[in-house]
Amino acid sequence: MLTLYFSPGSSAMATHIALHEIGVPFERKLVSLAAGAQHAPEYLAINPEGKVPALVIDGRVLTEVAGTLYYLARRYPEARLWPEGGIEDEAQAISWMSFIASTIHPARRAGDERWKEVFVLAEQRLGGRKWTVGGRCSIADIHLFRLYWRFVDTLGPMPDAYPGLTAHYERMMARPAVKKTIEVESAIGYQLPR
């Protein structure tokens, strides 16, 4: 049994999208960041860091977006979310997800200028390609999309500054799994800090 602890629009959105891409049954548990539920003892017992996502797999806890995405992609290979081009493509996916988690994600709190700057780096890195790695959507694209979605949601679209990321965003927005995730999460309501 898979249980996703999430809050709408948060980092957990990436794991939520991957679960919809795969189409596996799972249970959702809302951890309202707006209500401070991430600091409640019941949630700290699951993730002592007080962050979402947490994915509970038959009672075992897995945290960190990249870890949850990797688990889902490898456990459900039929969804083809893990690059198939060999060791170098796999390393590229890890490289993207490390860059996203360690450089893009923390930039939001460093202010809008830094946030815009890291997406210039992401734009260069994407280099006009359709997908981050290889010829199809992978977990690295889901991870990238969630951060760029957050950027667009906060600062508005900037197609002139980020043409590649904008095209990638639109490609991702057209995916049924992304639509479904946004539908479920927006029905609860985004309650994110700016």
Residues found near ligand GSH in the complex (CB under 6 A):
10-11, 33, 38, 50-53, 64-65, 101
Question: How far is C-alpha 22 from the geometric centre of its chain's CA atoms?
Answer: 15
Closer residue to ligand GSH, CB minimum distance, 88 or 102 = 102
**For residue 193, cis peptide bond before it (omega within 30 degrees of 0):** no
Radius of gyration over alpha carbons of the chain, in Å?
Answer: 16
Closest contact distance (angstroms) between CB of 47 and ligand GSH is 8
Closer residue to ligand GSH, CB minimum distance, 84 or 153 = 153
- Classify strands 54-57 and 27-30 as parallel, antiparallel or unpaired: unpaired
Other C-beta atoms lying within 10 Å of the C-beta of residue 97: 24
Partner residues linked to 49 by β-bridges? none
DSSP string, 61-115: EEESHHHHHHHHHHH-GGG--S--S-HHHHHHHHHHHHHIIIIIHHHGGG-HHHH
Closest contact distance (angstroms) between CB of 50 and ligand GSH is 5
Closer residue to ligand GSH, CB minimum distance, 29 or 130 = 29
Closer residue to ligand GSH, CB minimum distance, 57 or 101 = 101
Closer residue to ligand GSH, CB minimum distance, 37 or 167 = 37
Closer residue to ligand GSH, CB minimum distance, 53 or 129 = 53
Closest contact distance (angstroms) between CB of 101 and ligand GSH is 5
Please name the residues in contact with 77: beta carbons below 8 A apart, sequence gap of 6 or more: none
Q: Which residue is nearest to ligand GSH (CB)?
A: 51
Closest contact distance (angstroms) between CB of 33 and ligand GSH is 5
Closest contact distance (angstroms) between CB of 2 and ligand GSH is 16
Closest contact distance (angstroms) between CB of 160 and ligand GSH is 27
Other C-beta atoms lying within 10 Å of the C-beta of residue 65: 27
Please name the residues in contact with 33: beta carbons below 8 A apart, sequence gap of 6 or more: 7, 10, 52, 191, 192, 193
